[in-house]
Amino acid sequence: MARIDVRKTYKLYIGGAFPRSESGHSYEVQDSKGKFVANAAKASRKDVRDAVVAARKAFPGWSGRTAYNRAQILYRIAEVMEDRRPQFVQAVQQSEGGSAAAAGRQVDEAIDRLVWYAGWADKLAQVVGNANPVAGPFFNHSAPEPTGVVGVLAPQSSSLLGLVSVVAPVIVTGNTTVVVSSYSRPLPAVTFAEVLATSDVPGGVVNLLTGDAASLGPWLAAHMDVNAIDLCGLAGDDAVTTELEVAAADNLKRVRRAPAAEPDWTAAPALSTMTDFLEIKTVWHPIGV
Amino acid sequence: MNFEYAPAPESRAIVDIKPSYGLFIDGDFVDGHGTAFKSVNPATEETLAEIAEADAADVDRAVKAARKAFRGWSRMPGRERSKYLYRIARIIQERSRELAVLESIDNGKPIKESRDVDVPIVAAHFFYYAGWADKLEHAGLGANPQPLGVAGQVIPWNFPLLMLAWKIAPALACGNTVVLKPAETTPLTALLFAEICQQADLPNGVVNIVTGAGATGEALVTHPDVDKVAFTGSTGVGKAIARSIAGTDKKATLELGGKAANIVFDDAPIDQAVEGIVGGIFFNQGHVCCAGSRLLLQESVAEEVMAKLKRRMATLRVGDPLDKNTDIGAINSAAQLARIRALAEIGEDEGAERWSPPCELPSAGYWFPPTVFTGVSQAHRIAREEIFGPVLSVLTFRTPAEAVEKANNTPYGLSAGVWTEKGSRILFMADRLRAGVVWANTFNKFDPASPFGGYKESGYGREGGRQGLSAYLKAGA
C-alpha cells in the first residue's frame, strides 16, 4: 500500500512563533487550477494587533544591530532559501501556475534580490547620508534611520518574488514589519516565514499574516503604533487605498502608495523601496578647544 | 551709577507699508475676491495694512498661472534658473534691513533676531539652492531628475520670510513653480518678496502669493492641478492635509509640531547649557516648532541649573521688538496669547510650580513673560502639548536610559538637545533620540545645508540640504 503523506498545517508567523489565528478561522487555498491544497489561517484584527506588539518589541534590538550583522542575516535568508529551492519552486508553481522553469526563475530572482538588499545594509547610509558644510564652527551630519514598525500589504499576484521585494527593503535598514500575504496565494509566504525562523532573523522582526489585505489593511493603517505602511497589495483598488491613506493620517504614517497595477517584479528595484521607510537624522555639535 | 539700558529703537522709516495689498498672481498684484482682512502689529495692536483674501477662484487663477509658467521654467537650463535665484538672494541681502524691520513689525519678533538670524538665513537659503539648480543630476536621485510641477505651499507666522525661503528656494531650483500662502497674521514680508521677484525679473507665474486664512490654504492644497503640497504648521492641520490628499498623486512634505527634550547631564558645561536652554525656549518668544520646551535635568545638578537659569531669565528684556536690546518680543496674535495663557493656567491647575522673573510688560500689544514650570510630570499637559510660547517645563531624570525614555515619550519627534562633556554619551543619546535634529552642546541652530524635519507626528520630508531636494524632484525617465 502506498504511503500516506504527512501534510503541513499552514499557520501565521508572529513574534517568532507559528500560531493559528486567534479567531480560529481559516480559508481554503486552491492551486492555480482551482484544486484544494490546504486551509490557511485567516488572520484577524487581533492577530494584527498581536503582530504589531511583537514588531514593536523587536524594533530596538533589530535597529540596534550593526548594519554588518543585518547584512549577514539577510544573506543567510538567501542561503537557506537556496537550500530549499525545490520546495519554493513547487510552491510558486502550485500557487501561480506556469512551468516549473518559470517558477524557478521567480525563485532565483527572489533569492538574488535578497542578496542584493543584504549588501545595502552597510552602504545605504553612505549613499543617502552626508556631512553638511554649515556656515559656522559645527560638526554636522545627516544619516538615515529606520522609521519603526512598517505595515506591508504584500502583492496579490507574485506570491514569492513580490513578497520578498516588499519585505527585504523594509527590514534591511532596521525596521520591523507586519506583513499581510497574498490572499489567494499565501502558501509560499508561509514557507518563507519558516525560512525566516531558521535564518537568525530575531522573532518579531518579520510577522507574517495570511489573510485578506482589504479587511486587515484598515486595522494596520489605523494602528497608532505603526509608523509606516506599504499599500502595494491593494494595487488597483482606489477606493480602499484612499480609505487607508485617510486612516494612516491619524498618526502621520509614512505611506508608500499602491501602484495602479502590480509592477513587474523582475525589474531592478528603486532606492525608494528603502528610503520611503527611513528618517533622516541630523546631528550638530560645536567645534572648539 | 545707572546701568539701565537706554532705548535703542531701529528706525521704521526704511519700510513703506501700503494701506492695502492685493494678491501676487502671474507677475502682477491683483485684487482678491474674498473678504479683505487686516494685518496687525502685535506689539502695538495698530492696523498695518488691509490684505486681500484669495477665494477659491483666485487660488485657481494662481495655480493656472503657475501651471502656465511651469513649461518654460522647468525647461530652462538649470544654470539659467540658478541665476534668477542668485539674483533673488542678492536683492534680499541688499534689502535686508528693510525686510528685517518689516518682519519685526508684522510678526513681533525682536529686531536682533530678524536682522541677525531670519533674514541672513533667508538669503543663504536662496544662495544654497541656487547652486543646486544646475547640479540636480548629482543629487543622488538618478541621472535625470524631473520637477514635480506646481507646488502649493502653506507657511506659518513664526518665521514668515524664513519659511517662505525654505519652501520657494528648493522648489524653484528644481524647476517647479509655486503658489504660496503666507499666514494671515504675517503676510507683509511675503508680499515684499513678491516685489523682489519683480525686481529680479523672475518670469511671470513662477512665484505666486495668495493671502488668506485656512479656507484659502485648503483651496490651495486640494486644488486638483497642484502636484506637490508643502506645509509647515500645526500637527492638526498637517493631518487634515494628509487626509485631504489621500487617493491623489500629490506628494507632500509636512513640517509640524514638536515638544523637544533638552537634556542636561551632570557633567555638562552648566553655563553654556543655561544659555542653550534660554535660547532653546525663549528664542522667537518660543514660537518655534523645534523649541526645547521640555527641559530634562539630571537630578544631581537640577538645583544648580535652576538657580542659574532663573538668574539668567531675570536678565531677559521683554518689550519693543524694534529695540535692539530686546530679547523677547510680542506674542504674534491675541489668539496665540490666549492659548499660551490657557495652557499656563492648566500647568498651575495640574500642580506644577510656575515662575517668571519680575518683568514689566507694555500696556498695549500681546505679551507673555518668560515662564518656567518645575515639578512637572510626564502626564502634565504642559509636558505633552506644544505651547508655542515662552514657557518651559522642567522634568528630572537619573540615568541616561531614563532620559531617553522620557525624551521619546511623545508623539512628536522634531528635535532634541543633549548637554554633556562626554563624547560617547552624546553619540549614545543622539543614536537613541527619535528626532530629526539633535543638537549636542548647542541648540536652535539652522543652516541651509542642514536638513530639517521630524519623525513620527512631527511630519515627514526634510527641508534644507541635499535631502531637501527630494521633496521637489522625481526620478526621470
A177-201 pLDDT tens trace = 999 999 999 999 999 999 999 999 9
Q: How far apart are CA B252 and CA B472, in angstroms?
A: 9
Mutant choice from A175, A274, A280 vs B, greatest count of B C-beta within 10 A: A280
pLDDT at B4: 82
Classify the complex by whether its ipTM is higher than 0.90, answering yes or no: yes
**Cβ within 8 Å of residue A193, ≥6 positions away:** A13, A18, A206, A208
Given a contact cutoff of 8 angstroms between Cβ atoms, the answer to whether B124 and B168 are in contact is no
Residues B251 and B266 grouped into a single domain: no
The backbone torsions φ and ψ at residue A141, rounded to the nearest 5 degrees and listed phi first, read -140, 155
Given a contact cutoff of 8 angstroms between Cβ atoms, the answer to whether A149 and A224 are in contact is no
Mutant choice from B117, B256, B439, B474 vs A, greatest count of A C-beta within 10 A: B439
**Cβ within 8 Å of residue A243, ≥6 positions away:** A218, B246
- Does a structural domain hold residue B75? yes
pLDDT at B476: 83
Residues B249 and B315 grouped into a single domain: no
- Does a structural domain hold residue B448? no
- Does a structural domain hold residue B380? yes
Indicate yes or no: pTM above 0.90.
Answer: yes
> Tens digit of pLDDT per residue, chain B (477 long)?
677 889 999 999 999 999 999 999 999 999 999 999 999 999 999 999 999 999 999 999 999 999 999 999 999 999 999 999 999 999 999 999 999 999 999 999 999 999 999 999 999 999 999 999 999 999 999 999 999 999 999 999 999 999 999 999 999 999 999 999 999 999 999 999 999 999 999 999 999 999 999 999 999 999 999 999 999 999 999 999 999 999 999 999 999 999 999 999 999 999 999 999 999 999 999 999 999 999 999 999 999 999 999 999 999 999 999 999 999 999 999 999 999 999 999 999 999 999 999 989 999 999 999 999 999 999 999 999 999 999 999 999 999 999 999 999 999 999 999 999 999 999 999 999 999 999 999 999 999 999 999 999 999 999 999 999 999 999 886
Let me know if B379 is exposed, middle or buried by CB neighbors in 10 A (0-12, 13-18, 19+): exposed
Q: Which residue of B has its CA nearest to A257?
A: B247
B435 contact A CB<8A? yes
- Number of independent structural domains in chain B: 2
Residues B68 and B216 grouped into a single domain: yes
A148-181 pLDDT tens trace = 999 999 999 999 999 999 999 999 999 999 999 9
pLDDT at A289: 83
Residues 180-219 of A with CB under 8 A from B: none
CATH number at residue B72: 3.40.605.10
Given a contact cutoff of 8 angstroms between Cβ atoms, the answer to whether B148 and B474 are in contact is yes
pLDDT at B60: 98
Domains and CATH numbers, chain A: 40-286 (3.40.605.10)
Using a CB-CB cut-off of 8 Å, the residues of chain B touching A251 are 411, 456-457
Residues B92 and B179 grouped into a single domain: yes
Which runs of E-coded beta strand occur in B327-390? Answer: 353-355, 371-374
Residues B226 and B266 grouped into a single domain: no
Nearest CB among B238, B452, B475 relative to A270 is that of: B475
Mutant choice from B117, B128, B138, B437 vs A, greatest count of A C-beta within 10 A: B437
- Does a structural domain hold residue B42? yes
Residues B180 and B58 grouped into a single domain: yes
Q: Which residue of B has its CA nearest to A239?
A: B247
What does DSSP say about strands B294-298 and B261-264: parallel, antiparallel, or unpaired?
A: parallel
Residues B305 and B242 grouped into a single domain: no
pLDDT at B3: 76
Give me chain A's average pLDDT, please.
97
A79-138 pLDDT tens trace = 999 999 999 999 999 999 999 999 999 999 999 999 999 999 999 999 999 999 999 999
Q: In angstroms, what CA-CA distances link B36 with B19, B21, B54, B164?
A: 12, 9, 9, 22
Residues B95 and B24 grouped into a single domain: yes
Label residue B389 left, alpha or beta by phi (over 0 means left) and psi (-120 to 50 means alpha).
beta
Parent domain of B240: 20-256+456-474
- Does a structural domain hold residue B446? no
- Does a structural domain hold residue B350? yes
A246 contact B CB<8A? yes
Distance in Å from the first CA to the final CA of chain B: 74
Q: How far apart are CA A284 and CA A279, in angstroms?
A: 16
A231-289 pLDDT tens trace = 999 999 999 999 999 999 999 999 999 999 999 999 999 999 999 999 999 999 999 98
Nearest CB among B238, B435, B470 relative to A252 is that of: B238
pLDDT at B2: 73
Distance in Å from the first CA to the final CA of chain A: 86
CATH number at residue B312: 3.40.309.10
Let me know if B427 is exposed, middle or buried by CB neighbors in 10 A (0-12, 13-18, 19+): middle
| Amino acid of residue B238 | G
A249 contact B CB<8A? yes
Residues B170 and B270 grouped into a single domain: no
- Does a structural domain hold residue B287? yes
Using a CB-CB cut-off of 8 Å, the residues of chain B touching A272 are 475
Residues B202 and B268 grouped into a single domain: no
Selection from B436, B415, B453, B447 nearest residue B129 by Cα = B447
- Does a structural domain hold residue B4? no
